[in-house]
């Protein structure tokens, strides 16, 4: 019986000639910047020209030179190397948090949509109430209570963005749940796990991935905000937000040390947004 559903999707993907998904140039630029930062995050230590924690210049807030490509920070450490290492923290923590948040949120959302009834009702109300807490504030309170460490940061960010993911997935899944092929599968006697994983999940995958991208951006922003307030990644390690905080004194000198970490954050978040905005509509709105 699922054959009818899967054969229509198969027809759709086979029909157009040539490449399956055509990205326009804005989307391509976005994608290449994302890939660039992913590579930097993975191969960080090998790429850094100077040890990121070591004072290499006698001058502080040094200018851009051929040796220090992005200047030096308030202690005379090489900013270029510190940004490369910072990519690990920013990208790594945000990726871990967004993966956790979306996995939990989407699973709960699908279960709520299929199960319905009181389970759906209580969970939705509870998570809606959760949304009444401003995200940065939530982070502040948790860090004040438990102290800051990387696992705490990942879990806090997960907790902040899980309800949104739940709501998004539930809304999509409720629509799919009323379709004929799901009704047929249910009449056939399939259990809830089967319905969720084989019937509903493949049909909401595209929009869920797009939503994951946007949530990734939010998480990067909140993480940088927390680090900027001194409550995120703790010294001597530094993500990009912490790098801006460390060097904020150099702002009135117009130091490159405060400029480049900001540029790094902006390049990542803007290009993810560009990429998501320009995804082929077939991926983004597959459930329509």
Partner 1 sequence: MNRSLLPYILVAQRLGIALLTLIIVSFAVFFATALLPGDVAEILLGQAATPDAVAGLRDAMGLNEPALSRFVHWLLGLAQGDMGTSYVNNMEVAELVGGRLLNSLRLAGVVTLVSVPVALTLGICAAMWQGSMFDRAVSVLTISVVSVPEFMVATLAVLIFAVWLGWLPALSYGVDLDSWSAMLRAYAMPVISLSMVVSAQMIRMTRAAVIETINTPYVEMALLKGASLSRMVLRHALPNALGPIANAVALSLSYLVGGVIIVETIFNYPGVAKLMVDAVSTRDLPLIQSCAMIFCVSYLSLITLADLIAILSNPRLR
Among 269, 280, 283, 287, binds partner 1 (CB under 8 A): 269
Could you tell me which stretch among 14-22, 34-42, 69-77, 139-147 binds partner 1 (CB under 8 A)? Answer: 139-147
Tally of CA atoms within 13 A in the half-sphere of 98 that contains its CB: 22
Largest Cα–Cα distance of the chain, in whole Å? 75
Among 128, 149, 180, 193, binds partner 1 (CB under 8 A): 128
Distance from C-alpha of 287 to C-alpha of 140, rounded to nearest angstrom: 37
Q: Which 3 state secondary structure label does DSSP give 78?
A: strand
Alpha helices in 178-255 (DSSP H): 180-187, 192-194, 201-228, 240-246
**Binding of partner 1 at residue 262 (CB under 8 A)?**
yes
Cα 191-110-172 angle, rounded to 5 deg: 130
**Binding of partner 1 at residue 179 (CB under 8 A)?**
no
Q: Which 3 state secondary structure label does DSSP give 134?
A: coil
**Binding of partner 1 at residue 118 (CB under 8 A)?**
no
**Binding of partner 1 at residue 124 (CB under 8 A)?**
no
**Binding of partner 1 at residue 125 (CB under 8 A)?**
yes
Binders in 197-226 for partner 1, by CB under 8 A: 217, 221, 224-225
How many angstroms from the chain centroid is the CA of residue 82? Answer: 22
234: left (phi over 0), alpha (psi -120 to 50) or beta: beta
Could you tell me which stretch among 91-99, 112-120, 127-135, 168-176 binds partner 1 (CB under 8 A)? Answer: 127-135
CB 84 within 8 A of CB 48: yes
| Shortest distance, position 134 Cβ to partner 1, whole Å | 5
**Binding of partner 1 at residue 29 (CB under 8 A)?**
no
Among 116, 146, 149, 192, binds partner 1 (CB under 8 A): 146
Among 55, 95, 104, 133, binds partner 1 (CB under 8 A): 133
Site residues (vs partner 1, CB under 8 A): 125-126, 128-130, 132-137, 140-147, 217, 221, 224-225, 228-231, 241, 244, 248, 251-254, 258-259, 262, 265-266, 269-270, 272-273
């Amino acid at each position: 019986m699922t054959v009818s559903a899967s054969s229509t999707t198969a027809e759709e993907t086979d029909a157009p000639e040539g490449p399956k998904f055509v990205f326009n140039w804005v989307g391509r630029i976005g994608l290449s910047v994302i890939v660039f930062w992913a590579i930097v995050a993975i191969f960080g230590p090998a790429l850094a020209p100077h040890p990121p924690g070591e004072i290499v210049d006698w001058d502080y807030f040094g200018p851009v030179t051929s040796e220090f490509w992005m200047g030096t920070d308030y202690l005379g450490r090489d900013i270029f190397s510190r940004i490369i290492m910072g990519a690990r923290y920013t990208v790594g923590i945000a990726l871990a948090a967004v993966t956790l948040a979306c996995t939990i949120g989407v699973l709960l959302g699908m279960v709520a949509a299929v199960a319905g009834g009181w389970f759906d009702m209580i969970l939705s109300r509870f998570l809606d109430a959760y949304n009444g807490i401003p995200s940065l504030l939530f982070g502040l309170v948790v860090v004040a209570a438990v102290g800051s460490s990387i696992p705490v940061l990942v879990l806090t960010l997960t907790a902040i963005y899980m309800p949104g993911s739940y709501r998004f997935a539930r809304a999509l899944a409720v629509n799919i749940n009323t379709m004929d092929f799901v009704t047929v599968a249910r009449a056939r006697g399939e259990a809830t796990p089967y319905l969720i994983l084989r019937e509903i999940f493949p049909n909401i995958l595209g929009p869920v991935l797009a939503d994951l991208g946007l949530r990734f951006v939010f998480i990067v922003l909140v993480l940088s905000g927390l680090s900027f307030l001194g409550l995120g990644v703790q010294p001597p390690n530094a993500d990009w937000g912490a790098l801006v905080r460390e060097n904020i004194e150099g702002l009135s000198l117009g130091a490159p040390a405060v400029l480049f970490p900001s540029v790094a954050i902006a390049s990542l978040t803007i290009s993810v947004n560009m990429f998501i905005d320009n995804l082929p509509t077939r991926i983004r709105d597959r459930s329509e």
